[in-house]
Structure formats: C-alpha cells, structure tokens
Amino acid sequence: MLNRLTALLTLIAALLFAGAVAAQEVTQRPVAGFPHAVLYTVGDQPKPVVVILHGADGNDEAGARFGPILARMGYAAVGLPYYSPNWGDYGPPPKFPDLPGSFIDIRVDQLADLREALRGMPGADVERFGLFGASKGAEFALIAGSRYPWIDSIVAYAPTDLVWEGWGLEMVEAEGTRSSFSFDGQPLPFTPYRGFVEGLLAGPAADLRAIHENGRADHPEKAAAARIPVENYPGALLLIAGGRDAQWNAADAAAAIEARRSEAGLQTTALIYLEAGHDLVGDGGVRQVERSGGSPEADAAARQDAWPKVVAFMAETLAN
C-alpha cells in the first residue's frame, strides 16, 4: 500500500512539474563527440538523463519526436543516432553518411562515453540515468543494462531477449557471420536469421517474424549464447509488447525476460497487449507503421493504456 501511495505521489509531482514547464522553450544542444546527438532540456537545472535509442530505421526521427516530449516532462533527453542505413545503389543515400551505414557491431559501450560527454552539460544529471528504446533500440538498451550498474531505469518497447545477426549491404554474400552489436571492441554472440536475403528480395511480402523465429529454431546453441543476461541488470525495467507483432515475437521475449529476472529476484513490469503489433511508442493516435502487425485501432488502444504507465514508471524510477 505504501509503495502504491509513494508511486502515486511521485506521479502527481511529476505531472505538476511537467505542466509547469510545458509552456517553456525546449533548448537543443549538440553533444560533443557524438555526431547528430542532441540534448533536449527545459531550463538548466540538473535533471535525470534519458537516452532515446532508435530502432532499425536509424537516423534521428525518434530523438526529434520524443526529445522535446521528455524534456517537457522534466528530463534531460538525449537523441542518440548511431546508425544511418546505407544500401548503396539499392536505396536512397544515407541521411548521415558519417554514421555506420550497416547495423553491424554497433558499439553498446558508446553509452559510457556519452555519459561522460554529458557530465557537466547544462541540465543533465548523469547520476540518474535512464534508457528509452524500441525494437533494436530496446535490444541495445537491455544489453547496456546488463553491463552498466549506473543505468537506473529502462523502458523497452517491442523488446527481444536475444542479440541478433547484423545486416547491411555487405551481408548479402555473408549471411550469418556478423553481430548487430559489440562491446569493448568485441562482437557479441548472436542468433543468425533464416532467409534474410530472401526477405530483402521479397520486399514488403517478407515475413520478418518468421525470419527471426526460424533462425532461433535453427540455432538453439547460438540462441542460448546470444541470450541477453537481463538478470545482471539490477535496475527498474518496463517492457511493452504486442502479441501480434509482425517484426519479431516481442510478447514471448518480454515474458522470457520477466521470468528470468523473477528467478533472480528482480522486479519487472511487462505490459502485453495481445491484439497489438510493433508500433506501440507514444500516447495514442490511430496510425499504422508498415509491417507492424496488429491493427491501427489495437495499437492506438495499447499506446493510450501504456503511456500513462510509462510516465509513472519513469517518474518513480528516476525522480531520486
């Protein structure tokens, strides 16, 4: 009862603060050493840091969308672009040519460098540190949480419990050989896909969920080695997943993560929306991202239900 009352009071205080700053201007500052990264703040009073980790689309859209929202909620929000798709002659030119153009060996340990770069910047309190990621960004966040004890809070939309194979133009002739992520200069163990190149050729008709699930089934030993050790993350964790996710099986992954952490005596909140798909970030709106799964109405209902809980979770886990 006391914990619920504390959480309620924390949420009320956060909402009052957010209302007080909502009309104020959001300041945007570049982060030295991190091309295209932006720190979003309202005022210069130190606030908890929340790093926005983009999904498979890469670039800076998620940061540009949620940076101002999180800043007005009372956080020092950081949009961290770390990948900008470059398919050469087979796709449009990359938005940010100076970022990795393939999703291969993305450095998880760049978060430690980012934390140091933020230290002392106006409005940022790096001693309170959270991650806000979706899809591949959730994969990134969970890997980081399992390795850095200073991460206090993670919101992971459409998560996975495994590290997956990387992709890029050079992988067309080298399937199953590279990881999505690295740490301290070493690629992380990963689960290969089945049918990635066929999926590229199939375009919108590709069954992305099957590509992941078939890869998991084909390589049980590699999947075991690639499991993200979420039990090593002692901080607060909120998972949001849809049962009809067409990208990968986020609902089963969230259940597996919750079970593993429960065995370790760690608390996890998992919000599973059985009829929803992959596109669950935000506070509502009937829209549909291509190949998300679910339906626009189910996704909107899930977002509307989840967002107040995300707000409350962040207020409770990052306020002190």
How confident is the model at residue 127, as a pLDDT? 97
Residue 247 lies in a domain: no
Long-range pairs for 2-10: beta carbons < 8 A, 24 or more residues apart: 6/316, 7/312, 7/316, 10/312, 10/315, 10/316, 10/319
- Mean pLDDT over 28-36 rounds to 98
Asked if 247 and 274 touch (Cβ cutoff 8 Å), the reply is no
**How far is 55 from 138, CA to CA, in rounded Å?**
8
Asked if 76 and 49 touch (Cβ cutoff 8 Å), the reply is yes
- The pLDDT confidence band at residue 17, using thresholds 50, 70 and 90, is very low
Residue 17 lies in a domain: yes
Residue 308 lies in a domain: no
Q: Indicate whether 62 pLDDT > 80.
A: yes
Residue 93 lies in a domain: yes
Q: What percent of the chain has pLDDT over 70?
A: 91
How confident is the model at residue 10, as a pLDDT? 46
How confident is the model at residue 23, as a pLDDT? 55
Query: Number of structural domains, the chain?
Result: 1
- To the nearest whole number, what is the mean pLDDT of the chain? 91
Tell me the pTM: 0.92
**Between 219 and 21, the higher pLDDT residue:** 219
Tell me how long the chain is.
320
How confident is the model at residue 289, as a pLDDT? 65
Q: Indicate whether 104 pLDDT > 70.
A: yes
Residue 120 lies in a domain: yes
How confident is the model at residue 1, as a pLDDT? 43
How confident is the model at residue 22, as a pLDDT? 52
Q: Indicate whether 287 pLDDT > 80.
A: no
Per residue in 183-210, pLDDT (tens digit) is 999 999 999 999 988 887 888 888 999 9
Lowest mean pLDDT among 12-16, 30-34, 172-176, 245-249: 12-16
User: Domain span at residue 30?
Assistant: 2-238
**Which of 117, 91, 73, 97 is closest to 283 using CA atoms?**
73
Residue 119 lies in a domain: yes
Per residue in 248-284, pLDDT (tens digit) is 999 999 999 999 999 999 989 999 999 999 999 998 7
**How far is 293 from 295, CA to CA, in rounded Å?**
6
User: The domain spanning residue 26 has which CATH number?
Assistant: 3.40.50.1820
Residue 274 lies in a domain: no
Q: Indicate whether 172 pLDDT > 50.
A: yes
Residue 317 lies in a domain: no
